[in-house]
Amino acid sequence: MRFGFDWGEDVSEWMTAMRAGLTRTLTRHGHAVSPTLMGADLVFHHVDPDRPRPFRRQYQATFVVAVVEGAPLPPGERLKALYPMLIRSISNLLMYGGDAPAGRARVALVTPELGNYTVDALAGDAWFESVYERVAPLAESHLVINNVFDEDLPDELADGTEVTRQLADAARTLDQWHLFPTPFPMSEFLPPEDMRQMRHLFGIGGLSYGNLSARLDAERFWMSASGVDKGKVGTVGRDILLVKTYDPVANAMRISVRPDSDPLRVSVDAVEHWGIYRRHPGIGALIHIHAWVDGVVSTSVNYPCGTIEMGQAMSDLLDQDPHPESTIIGLKNHGITATGPNFPDILARLADRVRPTVPMQ
């Protein structure tokens, strides 16, 4: 992994120390400084909190960490203050910090999936190692958000099935439970060019977070689209899509559509659901929400949505569950995914247990 820093020498002592410490740590782990920022896999991008601006990356695979300096924020105010900076800078991760007593650094991390947590103060390079342990797995993960649309949707599926109607009903129920948060009105704050880049890089549309899917057969499954109000899904071929497979050559999900359709892009989590359905044939439906159920086992790394690594981590947890076909697993600093034979079964198990706040670690 090649890395670089999008700031010069005329910065604060804290920013200078951040650059030096991160460089030491990354090179110690075998990563190299990129000759140019445009050729870097990981870019640390200095963001002015009063005028957040994006780093104009050329490739989806470039992972951008916004670095913002400021005074400490109370935990309850952190997401409200920092999430707009993350979105406006079109970054994969935001690090917010500054000088702390006795030379000890502390930063808050914020992700597009609403994760927000701190890296505790440690002395010297131990702190940079702790930051590295949280950033490197995310930066090295493999994002799959592109779609290839094949005009081969069978006529008998063109208007959907009972399963797609159950999917739409379940989405409306979850919306009534207020479990599809809309944390930031992106279109009100980002110009059209930046909105296009946000959708291109992350597959995030900003209307509601979460998704639903249901198996059609051994290979294919129905899934909600990205960037739609999940409480209003219902049109097959547009906001409910039939996923056929993951195409490793194109690094994209292949979607069956009608020739006359105008499909949206499938949910960014499609590659994760694809892996789960293939590995666990007893699962008939999946619901993912940015909420929580106490007592569930959780992944150990908060991988980004739409990554192969997130799907692998979820499948690993399901492998360890005695009943993977009907369970709930946690996604660290992110939310939950519930499995079941169908949507009514999943909703019945969530009804009295789910809470909207995800614990952050």
Same domain, residue pair 179 and 287: yes
Residue 211 lies in a domain: yes
pLDDT band at 228 (very low <50, low <70, confident <90, very high): confident
**3-class SS of residue 354:** strand
Same domain, residue pair 123 and 36: yes
The torsion angles phi and psi of 289, rounded to 5 degrees, stand at -135, 155
Which of these, 10, 23, 172, 18, lies nearest to 95 by C-alpha position? 18
Alpha helix segments (H runs only) across 140-247 = 162-176, 186-189, 192-202
Q: CA of 246: how far to CAs of 69, 284, 307, in Å? A: 40, 19, 12
How would you class 168 by CB atoms within 10 Å of its CB: exposed for 0-12, middle for 13-18, buried for 19 or more? buried
CATH number at residue 253: 3.40.225.10
pLDDT in tens, 289-342: 989 999 999 999 988 889 999 999 999 999 999 999 999 999 998 899 999 999
Same domain, residue pair 21 and 128: yes
Same domain, residue pair 9 and 72: yes
Same domain, residue pair 68 and 173: no
Domain count across the chain: 2
pLDDT band at 184 (very low <50, low <70, confident <90, very high): low
What's the pTM? 0.86
CATH number at residue 103: 3.40.50.10300
Most confident of the following: 5-9, 86-90, 167-171, 208-212: 167-171
Tell me which residue range forms the domain holding 284. 146-355
Residue 360 lies in a domain: no
Same domain, residue pair 15 and 62: yes
Q: Alpha-carbon distance 331 to 325, whole Å?
A: 17
